[in-house]
Amino acid sequence: MGSQNDQSLNQLIADALGLPCEKISDDSSPDTLSEWDSITHLNLVMAVEEAYEVQLTPEDALDLNSVKLFRLYLEEKGKL
């Protein structure tokens, strides 16, 4: 943890949610952040797709509901 890629993902998520990066951790999710609602989730999905050059299926987009799950998905795709 704490690699440049971890930080850039956290920063991307922080920016999409309008939060400081320090508030973002692997445990961050709609359950822990009131700013993470359905609209910001869509913005977050689009930001991740653009930044990491991936195309999420609608199912993936719905299932990726925490920072940790986004990170695992990107690692699986070889993007982190």
pLDDT of residue 5: 72
pTM recorded for the entire structure: 0.91
Q: From residue 43, how far is each of 13, 50, 53 by CA, in Å? A: 9, 11, 15
Tokens 């982190």 appear where?
A: 80
CA distance 27 to 33: 10
Spell out the domain ranges in the chain.
Answer: 4-76
Residues in the chain, overall count = 80
Residue 9 has a pLDDT of: 96
Report pLDDT digits (tens) over 41-70.
Answer: 999 999 999 999 999 999 999 999 999 999
Reported confidence tier of residue 3, pLDDT bands at 50, 70, 90: low
Contact 53, 79 (CB under 8 A): yes
Distance separating the N- and C-terminal Cα atoms of the chain: 11
The pLDDT of residue 52 is 96
Q: Is the dihedral of CA 4, 58, 37, 45 positive or negative?
A: positive
CATH level 2 (architecture), domain 4-76: Orthogonal Bundle (1.10)
